[in-house]
Chains A and B, each alone.
Chain A
Amino acid sequence: MEKVLTKNIQPDLPYVDVKAYEATGGYQGLRKALGMTPAEVVEVVKQSNLRGRGGAGFPTGMKWSFVPMGADAPRPKYLVANADEMEPGTFKDRLLMEGDPHQLVEGMAVAAYAIQADVAYIFLRGEYLFSAERLRRAIAEAYENHYLGKNILGSGYSLEMYIHLSAGRYMCGEETGLLNALEGKRANPRTKPPYPQVSGLFGKPTIVQNVETLCNVPHIVKNGADWFKSLSYTQDGGTKIYGASGKVKRPGLWELPMGTTIREILEVHAGGMQDGVRFRGLLPGGASTDFLVEEHLDVKMDFTEVAKVGSRMGTGTMIILDNQTCPVGMVRNLEHFFAQESCGWCTPCWSGLNWAEKALTALEEGQGQPADLEHLSFICNLCAPGNTFCALAPGAVEPLQSALKYFREDFDRHIAEKRCPWSSQ
């Protein structure tokens, strides 16, 4: 299999400097893009079927096409790399930033050119200090080599790039919460419409794109849409960085063709379950996706196929539940996170997730009541998409609603036995 995004990344993560990056074709995508019109760049990305790797899978080229172009478009325009990566179980963007930072810089430069952005920000998770260090180096080198700054490579196009370290909340990864945070405000999400493409950072046209999404961009420009599509087993183009955590033999990240089956990721790349533990289920792409179970192992991991069985590929980094771990406890842990990270703006989320956390805690502590289970389902409906202001709450109830579906008997046992069956006592 051809490695695209990770071809420069070595296991011990040496710094790939600008020379090393250029040696494997680095910045060729940018050079080529600068020779094309912005519209042509958007078009090739559209043709490639690249879909956003931040979790929602929105077609990237289409998103770019909503940005106002031309002389009377509002200025400055912004490109923001969403490097917040606060989704539990997700650590793929970190690998890309630490292992090959120039790839992100180049991807951002190309994307920025496509929408004729004037300023680019990397909104980086506050704890990712190593990424910050490497990106700073890479950005400095890129300026030195005229890949950034005024009149890039003599093209007449200019772009300034900055890193912003997040103060650290899950909501800062939601694209409009991110924009507020970047403006120095509370990370509450914003009203949509208007979408950031027309009224984003500081009220100006803005594109927010996940790190992995952006890393694909130079390769698409360099090698063409057809090449990109051919990398994939399915309709959604490209490769994907999949990951697995939990009691598998080899937790980690692997760049594989888009549409690799869950079974292959789990059994071949992650090496299967550790000895003596049994697989019970998995969250396919971070904490805010629905559980899948045994029967879904042959589903192809892409945006379309996973959705067909009632979950989402999300970030593509799976969290695996085994038989030695209490599903109620796992869900409680997740809902604690989500309840705590609720920005507190809309009622279903701040009140519902608090209640869910409290009810799950009661269950774990042997204080659960049958009515609690009904109420947990009720909260899942209350937080359905459209009922809340942003996607945090609908995502937050995905593991809960699917756990209630697939592990109902475990919930019932907590009530019947008045204790957590997995607790030692």
Chain B
Amino acid sequence: MTKVYVDNRPFEVRPDQCMLQACLTLGFDLPYFCWHPALGSVGACRQCAVKQYKDENDKKGRIVMSCMTPVAEGLRISIHDPEVVAFRAAIIEGLMESHPHDCPVCDEGGECHLQDMTVMTGHNYRRYRFNKRTFRNQDLGPFVNHEMNRCIQCYRCVRYYREYAGGRDLKEFSMRNQVYFGRYEDGTLENEFAGNLVEICPTGVFTDKTLKRHYTRKWDLQFAPSICVHCGLGCNTSPGERYGSLRRIVNRYHGELNGYFLCDRGRFSYEFVNSERRVRQPLLRQDNGLRPTSKAAVLDRLKSILAFGKVLGIGSPRASLEANFALRALVGAERFFAGTAPAEQRLTSLMLQILREGPARTPSLHEIELSDAVLILGEDVTQTAPRMALALRQSVRQQTFQIAEKLKIPLWLDHAVREAVQEEKGPLFIAAPYVTRLDDVARETYRAAPQEIARLGFAVAHALDGSAPEVAGLSEELRNLAGRVAQALRDAKRPLVVSGPSLNSESVIYAAANVASALCRAGKPAGLSFTTPECNSVGLNLMGARPLAEAMEAAQKGEVEALVILENDLYRRAPRQQVDALLKGAKHVIVLDSLLTPTASQAEIVLPAGTFAESDGTLVNNEGRAQRFFQVFVPQGDIRESWRWLREMMIAAGRREAAALETLDHVDEALAQALPALAAVTKAAPSASFREAGAKIPRAPHRYSGRTAMHANINVSEPKPPDDPDSPLSFSMEGYPDQPPSPLIPFFWSPAWNSIQAVNKFQEEIAGPLRGGDPGVRLIEPTPGSEANGAYRGAPPEAFSVREEERFFVPLYHIFGSEELSQQAPAVAELIPKPYIAIATEDAARLQLKEGDEAEVRLNGSTQRLAIRLREEMPKGLAGLPVGLPGVETVELPAWGKITRV
């Protein structure tokens, strides 16, 4: 720690930061614009000025930018010196010169950093009396709105978009007071993390276009701490609701996980909650159709169905632990099946086993960012675990920091570091069957069939440690590549291997595990990170469900009286005929879901399940971190948490013990007891009885307006706010006015900090953990002592050989399109590709196929017609089928298949 003086008071601060960051950590309100904790310092806006003094006798001092001033022993600064106070006000006046001052019609209003900083500096009177500069705005696609007149030229957007997120289609143009931040021409922003511009931009230039359609000010939204449900990473989010509809999602900072940023799928998919395809009432099959019915009637019917026994339950990787557990309790552990594709369940079990046995530990996203050499085996991470790709993009900078360190450039001095480093990048190797969105920062890419990817991994492990299994018949080229990868990983301080189930290949996962094991044996603290497909893939797997195929067999044998399907569209899990057979094989099919999926449409009974926004529950992410999400609002009608419906079903079936499962805490306690692997779930967040100063935590900001009036059209007397028996949060703006424990922060706000940058006030240190530690509990740690022996697993597969008549189909993923729920969000839907198959350009010629041609694909007994897309980079003999895309049938992949022209 280093001693510095701020307005003559001594403080101890960390030395590896700038004075602005130190001052903010110390709690001072020092205004800033161009600086951002994730982007570092560039000294553009001049807003963070302070006075610096040579020593205690220096009374005059000089104005310096705190963001450009390194912490140094004995450094003396003043924030309150009148001259620098006036300077900061003058800077705001300059920034405001051409600002339209249209706060009342600006979407940023009420959560605007520019408003906050303007008030903070005390500038409040317009003296500029000349014409303002104005701009034309652009259409940037379905996610981000553009209103350039509000720009203050802080450069944060382009620094984030280009330098941090690797985007290329947003740039600053022109100069003087007329710098334009936009695209070369109108068009959808290409980068998958463009939505963060909404939070990065301190003004109303970039705002959430989806929010605009049902706009509500931040202070009028009701929030809850939530977890993204659109991939397996579990980014923390803060969704906001008004009048029973979800209005938007913003990032909820998590120091170990998503930090300051979300992916666009996570941010803009919330609208599925408002979808017209929502099931809002119980539905009962009558006269060959599903008809709305009352809760009482449906429970009555369920009572008679459940009385016969032979009830099978199919759980879901997108439902909470509590919902899955309640289903398991209803049907019994031996009749609880995993609603996942067979390969996926197998691979998830394998990955968890590997992580539990060790020796490699699975890192958090923050640790991934700090990795200094990375091997990715078989994942297009941007499509399968998007936020991880943003973390990996930062990891390639780690080794290059040595260049800056040698030149004594502090790492937070962002542009100086980038100018010294130039195009230099640390080692990132990507092996995938096709181009991935991280290839632009990769040192080397290897595009091959899954078998070859696995062989590369095995070869790397063998190159690291001769006792790892050797790959027979390795080509010279692959051996050399393996050697280079091994060398880079061995030379690194914090090497990382990333893989996952996306190619449905055991060998790839074994290979990744072996590389990590070999590194651990060599004494390296290697990380091993697996992507997981859905928000609770890990949680469901830890519950130990039986494979879906066995449920199908049971149905075939006529052993199934009733099938209870939890939040799951089985048509996404298995081929159509198999699912049809399963559903027909059961006498009664009961589906609990939030959307009327193809599976739900086949059911006899559909129960309206709450989405994440209408439920509380716990999800386990790919890192094995159990995290609690909380109900954002109380839905109208009969929508209930799945676990509540299941409890009611148990009660209806005469299961007395279910009466005790009254609240989420009860379910979690029962779950913790029944499943030791999940015992820690009760620690994921404080229980419902938790109080701060005797009060609950308010979900709404204290300025929340209209509560007494918003239901006046129904009843003039104000209703009592709904009770929340499941959490320590209240559906109200009343309650504990100060900061709650980190898992319970519904939104970031602090006096004078209305924008999301209020998060500064919630962190132990700026860009560090939230006060009291980041939320969630890790359930999976490697067995202690496993570094030493870490046995090698699996065996290298046979080399891939091209067939004359057939193509080897591998799965392809799309951030917008492959995930089920987000497809229902209109903004995301705009970006979903049309159904297609991808084939190697080289093969297309022989098949006489051109881009856009329709072709017939025969694969694993299914036949479908799809448009051809040529992929220059795909190796000969391979073809790709997009997974989960609307209009593409579910097929087990990879598999050999035939393409014919039609």
Could you list which residues of chain A lie within 8 angstroms of chain B, going by C-beta atoms? 169, 171, 186, 190-191, 193-194, 198-199, 202-203, 339-348, 350-355, 358-359, 362, 371, 375, 378, 382, 386-389
Contacts and interface: CB of A to CB of B under 8 A. Distances in A.
Contact of A346 (B46, B93, B407): B46
A199 B407 contact: yes
B130 A362 contact: yes
B175 interface: yes
A415 to B, nearest CB: 14
B176 A169 contact: no
B91 interface: yes
22 contacts: A190-B416, A190-B419, A191-B43, A191-B415, A199-B409, A199-B420, A344-B175, A344-B176, A344-B178, A344-B179, A347-B94, A347-B153, A348-B90, A348-B91, A350-B153, A354-B133, A354-B177, A355-B128, A382-B90, A382-B94, A386-B63, A386-B64
B634 to A, nearest CB: 47
Given A346-B46, A347-B91, A351-B177, 17 more contacts: A186-B172, A191-B42, A191-B416, A199-B419, A203-B420, A203-B421, A203-B422, A344-B176, A344-B177, A347-B45, A348-B94, A351-B97, A352-B94, A355-B97, A358-B131, A382-B87, A386-B62
Contacts of B42: 191
A203 B45 CA distance: 24
A344 B152 CA distance: 10
A345 B155 contact: yes
Nearest to B133: A354
Contacts of B407: 194, 198-199
B127 interface: yes
B73 to A, nearest CB: 18
Contacts of A388: 46
Contacts of B152: 347
A171 B176 CA distance: 11
A345 B419 contact: no
Nearest to B64: A386
Nearest to A190: B419
A389 B43 contact: yes
B153 A378 contact: no
B97 A354 contact: yes
Contacts of A359: 130
A268 to B, nearest CB: 41
B176 A339 contact: yes
A199 B416 contact: yes
A346 B175 CA distance: 11
Interface in B849-896: none
Contacts of B94: 347-348, 350-352, 355, 382
B174 interface: yes
Contacts of B155: 345
Nearest to A180: B419
B513 interface: no
B201 interface: no
A194 B97 contact: no
Nearest to B62: A386
Nearest to B171: A186
Contacts of B176: 339-344, 350, 353-354
A99 B105 CA distance: 62
A196 B621 CA distance: 47
Contact of A351 (B63, B95, B408, B421): B95
B45 A346 contact: yes
A203 B403 contact: yes
A385 B321 CA distance: 61
A393 to B, nearest CB: 10
Nearest to A202: B422
User: Which residue, A339, A346, A348, has most C-beta atoms of chain B within 10 A?
Assistant: A346
A346 to B, nearest CB: 5
B177 A348 contact: no
B413 interface: yes
A385 to B, nearest CB: 10
A295 B128 CA distance: 36
Contacts of B128: 355
Contacts of B47: 347
A340 B178 CA distance: 9
A391 B699 CA distance: 50
B419 A203 contact: yes
B64 to A, nearest CB: 7
Nearest to A198: B407
B44 interface: yes
Interface in B389-443: 403, 407-409, 413, 415-416, 419-422, 424
Given A194-B407, A346-B46, A371 B153 contact: no
Contacts of A378: 90
B127 A348 contact: no
For the complex of A and B, list the 3 residue pairs with the smallest distance between their C-beta atoms, beginning with the closest.
A351-B94, A358-B130, A344-B179
Contacts of B170: none
A375 B422 contact: no
B68 interface: yes
A3 B333 CA distance: 101
Contact of B175 (A169, A191, A198, A203): A169
B706 to A, nearest CB: 38
User: Which residue, A169, A342, A350, A371, has most C-beta atoms of chain B within 10 A?
Assistant: A350
Interface in B776-821: none
Contact of B44 (A169, A341, A375, A389): A389
Contact of B127 (A345, A375, A389): A375
A339 B175 CA distance: 9
B420 A345 contact: no
B44 A345 contact: yes
B132 to A, nearest CB: 10
Nearest to B406: A74
B150 to A, nearest CB: 15
A169 B174 CA distance: 11
A340 B419 CA distance: 26
B567 to A, nearest CB: 50
User: Which residue, B47, B174, B179, has most C-beta atoms of chain A within 10 A?
Assistant: B179
A359 B87 CA distance: 20
Contacts of B49: 387
Contacts of B62: 386
Contacts of A387: 46, 49, 63, 87
A354 to B, nearest CB: 4
A191 B403 contact: no
User: Which residue, A186, A193, A199, has most C-beta atoms of chain B within 10 A?
Assistant: A199
B63 A190 contact: no
A203 B422 CA distance: 6
Contacts of A190: 415-416, 419
B337 to A, nearest CB: 58
A373 to B, nearest CB: 13
Interface in B147-164: 152-153, 155
A346 B97 CA distance: 14
A346 B133 CA distance: 17
B178 to A, nearest CB: 7
Nearest to A169: B175
A194 B63 contact: no
Contacts of A169: 175
Contacts of A386: 62-64
B878 to A, nearest CB: 37
A365 B121 CA distance: 34
User: Which residue, B127, B178, B413, B419, has most C-beta atoms of chain A within 10 A?
Assistant: B419
B43 A194 contact: no
A352 B95 CA distance: 10
Contacts of B174: 344
Interface string B552-594: 0000000000000000000000000000000000000000000
Contacts of A341: 175-176
A346 B43 contact: yes
B380 to A, nearest CB: 30
B175 A342 contact: yes
Contacts of B97: 351, 354-355
A343 B175 contact: yes
A191 B407 CA distance: 13
